[in-house]
Structures are given as C-alpha cells and as structure tokens.
Structure 1
Amino acid sequence: MRIGILGAGGMADALGTQWHRAGHEVMISGRDAEKTAALAARMTGAAKVQEREVLAGTFAEAAAFGDVVMAAVLEAGLTDVLAAAGTALRGKPLIDVTNVHPDAYDPTRPIAGAAADLTGAHVVKAFNLCHVDVWRMTPPVFDGRPLAVPLCGDDPAALELVRRLVADLGCTPLDGGGLARATLLEATAAFVIGLWFAGADAQAILTPKEHAGA
C-alpha cells in the first residue's frame, strides 16, 4: 500500500516508520523541505528496510502519492494543510489522528467531520487515543493484550484499508461506528488525556468486560 502522510512530526515518524517496516511505501510531507527530508532519512534507517526509502515531498505530493493519506498535524494548522494537499484528497481514504488540548475541545466543532467537508475525502478517525510513543512499540501489547484501536468512518473500503494498517502494527481494529461518532472518539481523547495530565490512571475508569453488565 502507498501511504501519504501530511506532516513530519512525531506521529508521522512513529506510524510511518512502522508501516514502512511492514512493507508499505511511505511519503511524509512538511512545510520545511530540508527537515522533512532529514526525517525521511532517519525513518528509513530506523525501519531497517534497505531495498526502499521513506520518501519526502510537499503536502500536495503526499496526497497524490497515497492510496490512503494520514493527516498528522496540529489541529491549528489542519485546515491550511488540507487546503495545501489539494484536490487529490477527494474520494480518497483520509486517516485523521488529530486531537486538541483537553481544555479546548469543542464537541460542536468536530475535527473529523470538518476534514471530510473540506476535502471530500473518506475520513476515518483513528489512532488518537494514545501517546506517540505507544506507536513506536513493536507491538503495543499491555498485560498480554494487544492494543485495540477504534475506527469511526462511513466508507467501507476506507475502513478496510485502515483496519489493515492497524493490524500491521500488531493492534486490534474496533468498529466505532460512522463518522458522526468520531465526535465521541475526539471527546473521549480530550477527557482521558485530561485525566492523564492530572496524573490519574485513566485506564482504571473502565471495568473488565465481564463486569460491564448483561
């Protein structure tokens, strides 16, 4: 699979390196061409795949390159980056991993829904519940249980591609419902990240499945 990544930060590095290692072709993109190229070279070395390299390009080039595209930029710059990516995103699977600061999230302004409206892409909300370092783990397994990754989206083909990418990380994809429910996933991230910021163990708020009722 060809994966275009809009962004050249931690999420692009962590997820892009894992997917490159898993056999996919990856292009990252950023505003600073020199820094983006340097990150692509580091990702190539970290993945230890000698026969091909992680590529670096512009936002428009990465959008055109990918069979699936991931938006991995700060929420404040997301609109500008999606505009720079251009019309290549229309009708294409677009993974949205974006969060905002817990105190700033507004459920009346869903991020994933706005991305879909701006681009005409088949947006899938995913990978937004974990710190970037979790995505560097090979694989992310806790107490013998692979990490589960909820997905929210409307397009079956886009969801299937993202499920494959989740599985390539050694994680378990979970059906979280349609794109309208991505607002709940974004709000969940804002809530639990706020707990983590406060020093709480956010995972402790949920009981094991056998204690979840009939």
Structure 2
Amino acid sequence: MAIVGAGRLAEGIAVRTLAGGHKLRLTDSEQGKAEALAASLAARTGPDAGGAPLEVTVAGTAEAIAGTDVIVLALPYPEGRQVARDQGAALSGMTLVDTCNPVDFSTFDCLLTSPGMSAAEEIAEINPAARVVKAFNTTFAAALMAGQVCGLPVDVFLAGDDPDAKDKVAALVRDGGMRPIDTGPLRRARELEAFQLLHMTLQGPLGLDWSSMIKLLPLLRFRGILIPNGQWRLFPPGPPVPDGAGRLAISPRLRPRSPQPPQAPRVPAPGVPSVIRKTFRTCSGAGRIAAARARAVAAPGTRLRW
C-alpha cells in the first residue's frame, strides 16, 4: 500500500497497515516529512521496539504509487484533487482511497464542497479511471494508532462504486484489527463527511480530546453497577468481544436476557427508607446516551438492572 501524505492521519493508517503485515510506501511533497514518519514507525513498531522488521520505503509520488494495490490520499482538502489530476493515467484502474474532510476549519460550521457533492466524488470526477473509495475520514489518528477505543475495534466506514476496490480496502482494515462497514455507493461519502464534521464539533463540548470514534453497536441486555469512578462493572464479568468476522459477539459469560413483559411498580414495605427504595433502577441500551441517562438518575454505587 502507498500513503500520499505523512501527517498524523497517515501515521495512524500506517500503524494499522503494518500491524496487518503489509508492505508500505510513503511519500510527501514536503522534503523530509515522509522520512521522519518512517523513522517514527520504526521506533514505534520496528525491531528496536521488539517488533518484526518493517517493510517501509520512502519514494517520490510517481514511484510510490506505481504497482501498488491501494493508494491512500492522507491529505487535507483539496490537495487530493491535485494528486488525482497530476498523476492522471498512472491512477487508471487503481484503488484510490480519499480520507479528507472538507471542513471549513476557520469556523467548524460547514463543509467547503458544493451542496450534493463530496470531496471523494470530486476526485472521481477529476480522474474517472481511478476506483475511488471513501474511508478513514471518520477515524481520528489516536484511535487508529491504538486500533481500538474502550476495548472495542475501530469501525472504518467505506463508500464506493467499485465492489472490488471496496473489498481490497475492507481486507486491509480487517488485517489491521479493525471493522470495515460498507455504507454503499460513493455518494454516501456526503453523509460520512457531514457526520465527521459533527464528530469534530463535539470534541470540545464533550472533552473528547480527538481520541473518540464513531461506533455501531448492537443492543445488549445485561446487569451492571455504576461504580464511583463513573465506569461500568458487569454482572457476571465478561465484556463483548469481537469475533473473527469483525462483528460483535457476546462472551459466553454475558448472554442477552430475554425481553421481559412490563411489570407494575413494586410497593416498598412500610418503614423502608426512601434512599433504599430508590436503589434499584431498570435501564436499557448499551451506549453513551443510556449511560448518561443512568448517571442522571443514579448516584454512584447504585445497582442497576440493565
């Protein structure tokens, strides 16, 4: 795989690519930047860090993309368009991954693309012979380098019109320990770019520090307790674990509960203090919203039926 660009996102994608056992070529228009990234990768995952020898080479753009299976444009908007234009026929039939988000960073209030158009579709219009796939635009570098957030694999949303090209990108994602999610044709990149704009604007208000991820989870029913540090402890222990296909499986020690019919509120025995009557709560859902609701109604240490 070749990565055009050597910034933070390029580093995250490179770490996952190497974790999957793939060869990597790096290139950047800024002198010395690709070399610095290669040195950083060697220090992080190479033999000196106890890892296997890295197959990373640094080259010019034309040399880097020649004969590669997948080319990733880890570039800010609209630099990817320029690469697609400059390389022209060299990209014919190649799988070209656009990662950018055309956000107006002066305001964080809008996208710079025209209505009904995405950055990925602009690249496809400039070079229609390339097989363009939108990917990695909803993932921050910190999550990519870790490969997971809160013990769950990173979801990488894909959009593209060429099934074979999407399959190649999905295979790279899986090899890197992440979960590919096919969202449909390339026009779905419009929603992915808008979604990431929202994701970015929430970093400050929620104190996420650019280390969050967008994750799709099934609804699970389990029993838990909210402990004072704000984390969840499961009863019985055993968190959801990813299966070999990248889907979320359920630990043998944590099985879904069968839906229960609605029950009438229990009337506490006379003389039971109100603080005890309010100890047990029943909640449903397994996401941040459900957790926020639980925290709103339950003091630390409250046992919850989830």
Give the TM-score range, shorter chain: 0.7 to 0.9
Within-5 A mapping of 1:53-202 = 53-101=55-103, 102-105=108-111, 106=113, 107-119=115-127, 120-137=129-146, 139-142=147-150, 144-199=151-206
Tell me the distance in 1 between the aligned counterparts of 2:102 and 2:179: 25
Relative to structure 1, is the Cα distance of residues 132 and 111 closer, same or farther in structure 2, using a 3 angstrom cutoff? same
Whichever of the two has the greater Rg, that structure is 2
Q: Aligned with 2:25: secondary structure?
A: strand
RMSD: 2.8
Please point out which of 14, 20, 23 is paired with 1:22.
20
Name the amino acid aligned to 2:139: C
When the two structures are superposed, what TM-score results if normalisation uses the length of structure 2?
A: 0.61
Moved more, 12-21 or 111-120: 12-21
Unmatched 5+ residue regions in structure 1?
none
Name the amino acid aligned to 2:57: L
Relative to structure 1, is the Cα distance of residues 35 and 156 closer, same or farther in structure 2, using a 3 angstrom cutoff? same
Name the amino acid aligned to 1:75: Y
Alpha-carbon offset, residue 50 of structure 1: 5.1
Could you say which structure has the greater relative contact order, defined with CA pairs below 8 angstroms and 6 or more residues apart? 1
Tell me the distance in 1 between the aligned counterparts of 2:117 and 2:204: 23
Name the amino acid aligned to 2:133: V
Tell me the distance in 2 between the aligned counterparts of 1:52 and 1:146: 23
Please point out which of 34, 37, 41 is paired with 1:36.
34
Alpha-carbon offset, residue 122 of structure 1: 1.0
Name the amino acid aligned to 1:14: G
Contact 1:4 1:65 in 2 (8 A): no
More helix by share: 1
Contact 2:18 2:176 in 1 (8 A): no
When the two structures are superposed, what TM-score results if normalisation uses the length of structure 1?
A: 0.84
Alpha-carbon offset, residue 163 of structure 1: 0.9
Q: Deviations over 1:101-152 (max 9, x none)?
A: 2424144331010111222211111111121111110x3142x432222211
Tell me the distance in 1 between the aligned counterparts of 2:17 and 2:63: 19
